[in-house]
Structure 1
């Protein structure tokens, strides 16, 4: 029997094209009439922000490979030139679909319910006078026209800014002159018009209407909107980390001048003006996108938020659950001593994680706090509490990953802030990003030193925790505590421990662990014993991991995968991937949790991780994979996975032909896993509130004397509330 070549390029989907397929699934949500209308508006905006980041990083990387004449091929057998051509072709198709969705579906639908995005010609006299006044009073003093002639060269165009390109002439002759004008980003792009209705106009349309006021004694021949997306990938050469902050700051300045990767122009731009922009911006023809509508659809998120009086067109609110033992009225360390706690965000409040750090910052028994930060919010309560802990005399060590893509500036700011507050800040290992999500609290107790740990699949970001699904574990398990201590020693010093008791760490460790488990699964299958592998992740692109899955499938191992985004694996290849199924869930929340389950003849081993099965996560990042061993929590993770696998509303199934298809729901009750978890959380909250009311009704509470009343503005009480 011929040996199967599991690395055959025909068995792999190109990574970039697979990402574009994912963005198309997001676009489907904008077209899905079962979604609330204003949420569909937001989904269309999300497809734009997704695309912008993809172009800034991934398409830019392909352009660099071509520039250095890289002669390699990806797993699917495509050269860099072939990939860039295929990506541009598919992106052009997607752009047409985006604007067809906007013009034929979204705008008519919102108009029907009294929400209008107007052009100047649609305005009432009152509205016209309003924008005229707005232009003269607000915009005119800020706008800066830039002439483009022999004495004044074509100006630098910043990344992701809206600009007008103008062709004009003097009153006395017809010679064409040129100028550019940036639409200022300090103003809201979506301008609410006067009146009771939800009428809006875009900022650039106001500027276009009165742009002649900036060019007195000239005739405006043509005005066209354009935008450039530049190479924004950060390239920091690390010999050591002693001046890493300075290097990152230098690169942030250089990045603003990266090569133009994509040029978007109005579809009605003249050939003359288009040619001029292409020449001045040094853009390839394939990278020019003609847009039939407002350039840059990210404004749609702001439009949806600006609408008033239409809560019925948004997702219904739900109540996130928080166990009472983990709130500010209880000692969180006593709760963790009793047993482990599992939280699935956003259905479980992220407040419990914030509370863990808050209580550690003021607890007299706490000696030290150690934490990794990859992405945090702009006004992070966790940063505040880490600073407070340092000021309270605790040893605080924070690893801030200053190379976290597009959060570099924010993280440099927080690194400096933490240092000023007395925290010891470190920046990780040379050549590696630290992507692991770890918190360690060291506490002196009557029985001795005890370690408390939080491990998570997602960032310590109190804002994204409301719409990213992630799972976290709070534990006082001694072996896990020792492992996490060793990880921090590895990050801050030189030593790498010879082994870990419970955790698996990349680089190398997670790859080796999953490979070993798949080898074990292969042995079970060959022996005719039941074996089932289930995994959930954001992306699956590592060739060696896919090769090992193909080998396991060939041996008869059943493999179920939930992969939200990129999936380079192909299903349904005879003798190679017959037993592999791939689902993708795109819905109200961004699926971000990583789950790895190995069922060996009924014995379930359940793990959570910060890592996807991508080469960068397995080889070039510090990541953690950790077990869930407490039986009730193990069962909860199994139930979470099963519910998501049975989802037949938001799930798409990867077909053998490479397309994603909706689940056939005929004869089956609809199940949206995200809706199910939200309703389950709301039910738990209502039961908790009901129980609390019962207890309070049976208690007689003496009134406190005025001098014993708690100060509502005291530091502890003020910070103990929910971070909603």
Structure 2
């Protein structure tokens, strides 16, 4: 155990033995470290790669996801901390760690995680090989296989790569972010002189290449290059080689005085590709001289060096997951289209007019969100559409619908968020296309991200106009909607429509609403609204009434919100939290958080729904409970530095669907759940007398979204009930 962990452990003991609440409130150890909590989340993702209940290619996919997650974490979060260390910024994190202490602990944990990834890959490679999906390296193939590899290399690879001598006459080449290269130690046969050559692998080349044949065989691009050194270096003897990979600082810092945000982002994206190296990964037995060369030329400062005999770049394994072997994958799932909309002959506006609708993706089709805009674009009575766009993907039907609406003469406004990390370039492209079609494109605030997911359609009806709104917990992204669980809420509630207008005026004209009727908007009123609801539960507990808080989110890191939940726990409020990712709240500490339970759900779908529910004086779940869906997580950035919305579920049907189905199912899940212990360790929920898998439950039961005639036909959703004491 290192010094930092020892300090944290000793403070944990002090917490557990203390009864002085005023002292508890001042201890940094009442919080978990944010970065270490994220790494614990990625450990849970990685654990699914060893889950023997999953098909092999799905296990491989989880390994790939864990690699992609870790890359982004290193390029953004760790790069930021390393930058603080370089600039000698001694900003203390909420758990009391200095940047240098945090960086040391993170590096140690990342190296441990990488070891587990390599072990998982070694096992999966063997099991996949037994199942007829081989990943080869330098082992020989039959004559036909060897001939195909040579032909493929000469036809598709040889002309694309550029070997470069490394000597005083040749400047050291630039290695791009996430770039992979191979250093070769050679001897020129003509004069026995040593030569060092580098081959950088262009990002346009596939990470893995499939060798034709009934039995699948894959080879990495670096291994394919190394098998063909005689083609690349004729007249040279190869003494050895080493594969390396570079990760660079990829965060974009916003300058508040940026005069042209679009121009600033176009140049910032280019700068990001040349950021400081924060990780150097080395594969194979590197020649010491070659390793020293890389270290010196890449300008490593506070960078993490990772050495392995396995593979580098786990995210690239996603290519193999596409192998056409259905028996090695999850059984295909086709989302249902909302039945109540079908009962209105597909007229979404008629269905919404009848009653509010809540839809849960991916169990119910994201196509209904697209159809909402498509129908608006083609409806002669629709006069205006307003839409926020955070992430929309590369092939976006949403963008097409907005363009069609503008070309049909409707007033269309799109708030395009340029600061959506790693989607900045795509969003610039969408903004350009929208503007050319006549859409009024707004980029929002310079220093706040517009993260709210809102779509608003104004339709001429009778003597006036009616406003239809869509509020989502996830992005308007058709690809992620297939694997992220999110809620879409459609309403024609006039109060919600008026608030949506206020929200868009705030974003587009900086007109801060003095008040709202139903929506809570950050950074104005969302935090105060949450505090108001928490304080009501504290008051109910003090008065002897039932008091409880149920919440579901992706991350919980804001210290003020955590302290408010600690206050509620100390008052006797029963709190159950489902936090998929980072959780800095320490549950189960006597005198501080003994009434707080935290769990994380990791499974086939990525849990992304954000819900808050407050008991309001009755046992949960109940009809009186205050229930909200939101685009915001429990993070300072969401509450203070982003434009977010929180929407109350006032309609009885959608209220019960969100609370008694979605929220309760997450609390009841046993097969995909991990419990957070007071020491920060996550323990997988063991076997249960009443096993429950929330993903399977929603995949096999009728739609949430106004089941209409399906209820009369007997296809009812089984009623869930809370087994108190078993969660």
Name the TM-score, length of structure 1 as normaliser.
0.92
Among 503, 506, 528, the alignment partner of 2:522 is: 506
Is it true that 1:374 corresponds to 2:390 in the alignment?
Answer: yes
The aligned runs of 1:411-560 (5 Å cut-off) are 411-560=427-576
Quick one: distance in 2 between partners of 1:622 and 1:629?
22
Matching residue of 1:198: 216
Aligned partner of 1:126 in structure 2 is: 144
| Residues 319 and 681 in structure 1, CA contact (< 8 A), matched pair in contact too | no
1:78 aligns with 2:100: no
Contact 2:338 2:705 in 1 (8 A): no
In 2, the alpha carbon distance for the partners of 1:193 and 1:463 equals 28
8 Å Cα contact 1:570-1:577 kept in structure 2: yes
> Structure 1's 272 and 681: CA in aligned 2 closer, same or farther, altered over 3 A?
farther
Alignment equivalent of 2:275, drawn from 252, 258, 271 = 258
When structure 1 is superposed on structure 2, of 526-535 and 256-265 the one drifting more is 526-535
**1:234 alignment partner, one of 234, 252, 256:** 252
Q: How many Å separate the matches in 1 of 2:233 and 2:706?
A: 62
1:177 matched to which residue of 2? 195
Q: In the superposition, relative to structure 1, how do residues 355 and 691 fare at CA in structure 2: closer, same or farther (>3 Å)?
A: farther
**Could you list the runs of 4 or more consecutive aligned residues of structure 1 that deviate by over 4 angstroms after TM superposition?**
172-175, 681-692
Change (3 A) 1:85 1:246: same
Contact 1:238 1:244 in 2 (8 A): no
C-alpha contact 1:117 1:201 (8 A) present in aligned 2: yes
**Structure 1 pair 460–65 and aligned structure 2 pair: CA distance change class (3 A):** same
Seen in structure 2, the aligned counterparts of structure 1 residues 384 and 257 have a Cα distance that, compared at 3 Å, is same
The equivalent residue for 2:668 is 646
Q: CA deviation at 1:119?
A: 2.2
Q: 2:159 aligns with which of 121, 141, 155?
A: 141
The CA deviation at 1:523 is 1.4
Corresponding residue for residue 174 of structure 2: 156
Q: Which one of 340, 349, 363 corresponds to residue 379 of structure 2?
A: 363
From 615, 619, 635, give the equivalent of 2:636: 615
Given the superposition, is the C-alpha separation of residues 396 and 683 from structure 1 closer, same or farther in structure 2, using an over 3 Å criterion? closer
Counterparts in 2 of 1:255 and 1:286: CA distance versus 1, 3 Å: closer
Alignment of 1:623-634 (within 5 A): 623-634=644-655
- 1:140 to partner: Cα distance: 1.1
Q: Comparing 214-223 with 250-259, which one deviates more in the overlay?
A: 214-223
1:269 to partner: Cα distance: 1.6
**Contact 1:120/1:128 (<8 A) preserved:** no
**In 2: Cα distance, 1:124 partner to 1:680 partner:** 50
Q: Residue 334 of structure 2 aligns with which residue?
A: 319
C-alpha contact (below 8 Å) 1:7/1:547 kept by paired residues: no
Q: How does 1:206-221 map to 2 (within 5 A)?
A: 206-221=224-239
CA-CA distance at 1:267 after TM superposition: 3.9
1:37 pairs, out of 40, 48, 56, with 56
Unmatched tracts of structure 2, length 5 or more: 1-18, 619-623, 714-727
Could you tell which deviates more after superposition, 164-173 or 678-687? 678-687
1:518 offset after TM fit, Å?
1.3
Q: Which residue of 1 aligns with 2:724?
A: none
479-488 or 177-186, larger mean C-alpha shift:
177-186
Q: Whole-Å Cα distance in 1 between the matches of residues 441 and 705 of structure 2?
A: 39
Structure 2 vs 1, CA of residues 502 and 690 (structure 1 numbering), >3 Å: closer, same or farther?
Answer: closer
- Per-residue CA deviations over 1:494-539 (Å, capped at 9, x if unaligned) read 3111101000011142111111211121111122211010110000
Alignment pair present for 1:48 and 2:64: no
- Structure 2 distance, partners of 1:459, 1:28, is 27
Deviation at 1:256, TM superposition (A): 0.8
Match of 1:565 among 578, 581, 587: 581
CA distance in 2, matches of 1:446, 1:684: 27
Name 1:587's counterpart in structure 2: 603
Quote the residue 2:36 is aligned against: 17
3-state SS of 1:608 partner: strand
2:717 — aligned with what? none
Tell me, yes or no, if structure 1 residue 392 matches structure 2 residue 408: yes
Out of 120, 125, 131, the position equivalent to 1:101 is 120
Q: What secondary structure does 2:182 align onto?
A: strand
Tell me whether 317-326 or 53-62 shows the greater mean CA deviation.
317-326
On the 8 A contact 1:524/1:530 being kept in 2, the answer is: yes
Match of 1:339 among 326, 346, 355: 355
Match of 1:717 in 2: none
Deviation at 1:211, TM superposition (A): 2.2
Aligned to 1:282: 299
Shift of 1:263: 0.5
Aligned pair in 2 of structure 1 residues 325, 527: CA closer, same or farther (>3 Å)?
closer
- Does the 8 Å CA contact 2:277/2:303 hold for their aligned counterparts? no
Structure 2 match to 1:113: 131
Instruction: Say if 1:564 and 1:591, in contact at 8 Å, map to a contact too.
Output: yes
Q: What is residue 657 of structure 1 aligned with on the other side?
A: 679
Is the partner of 1:368 in helix, strand or coil? strand
**Other structure's SS at 2:307 match:** strand
Contact 1:319 1:685 in 2 (8 A): no
- TM-score scaled to structure 2, two decimals? 0.92
Post-superposition shift, 1:5?
3.5
Residues 376, 85 of structure 1: alpha-carbon distance in 2 compared, 3 angstrom cutoff: same
CA distance in 2, matches of 1:198, 1:38: 13
CA gap of 1:395–1:83, structure 2 versus 1, over 3 A, is same
- 8 Å CA contact 2:241–2:287 kept in 1: the answer is no
Cα distance in 1 for residues equivalent to 2:708 and 2:527:
43
**Aligned partners of 1:634 and 1:690: how far apart in 2?**
18
Kept in 2, the 8 Å contact 1:12–1:75? The answer is yes
Distance in structure 2 (CA, Å) of the matches to 1:140 and 1:300: 23
Q: Secondary structure at the match of 2:556?
A: coil
| Offset at residue 45 of structure 1 (A) | 0.6
Cα deviation for residue 184 of structure 1 reads 2.9
Question: Quick one: structure 1 residues 502 and 7, their matched pair in 2 at CA, closer, same or farther if it must change by over 3 Å?
Answer: farther
Q: What CA deviation, in whole Å up to 9, does each residue of 1:258-314 have, x standing for no partner? A: 000000011422322222211111224761101221211122211020x23x21221
- C-alpha separation between the residues in 2 aligned to 1:678 and 1:498? 43
Residue 721 of structure 2 is matched in structure 1 by none
How many pairs were matched up?
Answer: 687
For residues 320 and 138 of structure 1, the distance between their equivalents in structure 2, rounded to whole angstroms, comes to 39
State how far apart, in whole Å, the 1-side matches of 2:705 and 2:218 are: 41
What is the Cα deviation at residue 142 of structure 1?
1.3
In 2, Cα distance between the equivalents of 1:665 and 1:217? 63
1 CA distance for matches of 2:668 and 2:52? 22
Shift of 1:324: 4.2
